[in-house]
Amino acid sequence: MKRLAFVVQRCGLEVNGGSEKLCLDVARRLAGRAEVEILTTCALDYRTWADHYPPGETTVAGVRMRRFPVERPRDVAAFDRLSAQVHPRRQALPDDEAEAWMRAQGPWSPALLAYLRAHREDYDAFFFFTYLYATSYFGLPEVEARAFLVPAAHDEWTLDFPIWERFFARPRGFLFLTPEERAHVQQRFPALGLTGEVTGIGVDPPARTDAEGFRRRFGLDGPFVLYLGRIEPAKGCDRLLADYARFRAARPHAPPLVLVGGAFMPIPEQPGVRALGFVDEQTKWDALAACQALVMPSAYESLSIVLLEAWSVGRPVLVNEACAVLVGQTRRARGGLWYSAGDEFAAALDRLLDPGLAAALGRQGQRYVRDEVSWERITAAYLRCAGA
C-alpha cells in the first residue's frame, strides 16, 4: 500500500478554506486505499497563523494528521506594509526580497520543514496544496523528486514574482482544479511546458436539508439571496454590499441578502442585510436549500466549492464576471448568471428572482454536479500520481 503525505498550511474541521477542505476531503477518501497523513501547522487563523491546535499527532475525520508549531506568527500590519512595498516591483522583485515576503506570508514552521527533510524517503508521494504559502514554497523543494502540486492558482499579483519560474519547474506533476486554472498557469510559464490533470472537487450534500426550518429559525419569511464564505474585501464582499445597497434602494421590498460566514471586515448596517456569522455544516446546507440564489462576488478564485454545493441542492448562482474560473464553472453547468457593473448585478438578480428561471437554472446545475463531479475520478488521479 502506498504511503502518501498531504501538505497544507492549516487543516481541521473548524478551518473554513477551500484548499484546506479539499486537502482533508481527498485524504479522507484515500485513507482506505493508501496510508495517508496530513502534514500541517498548528494554525487556525490564516491572518496571524498563531498556534491554535496542539502540536503532534492526532486523527481528524479518520485521517492521521501531524501538526507542527508556527515559529513566528504573522504581524498583520507589518505584512500589509511589506506587501504594499513589494507590489509595485513584483515583476522584477529580487529573489531575496520575494523569499522574505514568503516568510512573512507564512505560515513559517521550521519544524515542518525539518520533518519533510528528514522523512523525504518515507513517503511515495507528497501532495502540496496551494502554491502561495511558505509550507509549499519552502517545503516542496525538500521532497521535489516525489512532490506534486495542487496550485490553486488564479490571476493574482503575487503570481508575478520571478521566483515562481524556478518553483513551478520543481514538482513531478500538477493537479489542477479547473481548465481555466491550468490554462492560466500554462500561459504564465510557457517555457516550462507544464501539464497536469484537471481533477476538480466533489461535494457531499447531506441526506436531508431543512429549508423551512432554516427560514423559521432566522425569521426569513420569503425568498432571500445568500452569500456563503469568508466575509472580507478579498472575496468581493465590500462590492457586494455596495451593489446590493443600490439594488435595494430602487426596490425597497427586495428579498434580503443573507451573509453566512466569519466576518473579517466591518459589516455596515444597511436595509435588507442579515449577517448570521459562522454556522455549522448542517445549517450551511439548510441555508443553501432555502435560498433563492447564491451570489459569489469574488474576482479571484481557482475553483468555487460553494457553487457546486448550491447546484447539488438545485439552487442557481450569480457570479462576478471578472473571475474567469467562476464564469467557466457556471457556463459549463448552465447553472446561473454573471455580472460586471452594478447595473448588471441588479438586472441579473432581478432575473434570478423569477421562480421559474431560478428553478430551471438550479436543475441544470444539479444535473451537472450529478453527471460530471465524481470523487472516484478525483481520487483516482491522486493514486495515479503516486503510482498506485
| Secondary structure of 254-278 in HEC code, one letter for each residue | CCCEEEECCECCCCCCCCCEEEEEC
pLDDT single digits (tens) 251-286: 999 999 999 998 989 999 999 999 999 899 999 999
Q: How far is CA 214 from the centre of its chain?
A: 25
Mean pLDDT, all residues of the chain: 95
Q: How far is CA 216 from the centre of its chain?
A: 30
Q: Mapping DSSP to helix (H, G, I), strand (E, B) and coil, where does residue 250 land?
A: helix
Give dist(CA 160, CA 150) in Å, integer: 18
pLDDT single digits (tens) 81-108: 999 999 999 999 999 999 999 999 999 9
Residues 183 and 198 in one domain: yes
Residues 28 and 86 in one domain: yes
Domain with 299 in it: 211-372
8 A C-beta contact, residue 43 and residue 69: no
Q: Scanning the structure block, which residue is given the C-alpha cell 521532497?
A: 143
Q: Scanning the structure block, which residue is given the C-alpha cell 486523527?
A: 59
Count of domains for the chain: 2
**CATH number of residue 298's parent domain:** 3.40.50.2000
pLDDT band at 56 (very low <50, low <70, confident <90, very high): very high
Helix or strand run (H / E) with residue 9: none
Residues 293 and 344 in one domain: yes
pLDDT single digits (tens) 183-239: 999 999 999 999 999 998 888 899 999 999 999 999 999 999 999 998 999 999 999
Q: Which pLDDT score is estimated for 300?
A: 86
Residues 239 and 312 in one domain: yes
Residues 194 and 232 in one domain: no
Residues 340 and 228 in one domain: yes
Residues 89 and 99 in one domain: yes
Residues 197 and 228 in one domain: no
pLDDT single digits (tens) 119-166: 999 999 999 999 999 999 999 999 999 999 999 998 899 999 999 999
Helix pair 324-333, 179-188: axis angle to 10 deg? 150
pLDDT of residue 341 exceeding 80: no
Q: Which pLDDT score is estimated for 138?
A: 98
Burial 67-77 (b: 16+ CB within 10 A, else e): bbbbeebbeee
Backbone angles phi, psi at 363, to 5 degrees: -65, -40
Residues 181 and 220 in one domain: no
Helix or strand run (H / E) with residue 322: none
Query: Strands 63-68, 56-60: parallel, antiparallel or unpaired by DSSP?
Result: antiparallel
Residues 66 and 107 in one domain: yes
Residues 192 and 231 in one domain: no
Residues 322 and 368 in one domain: yes
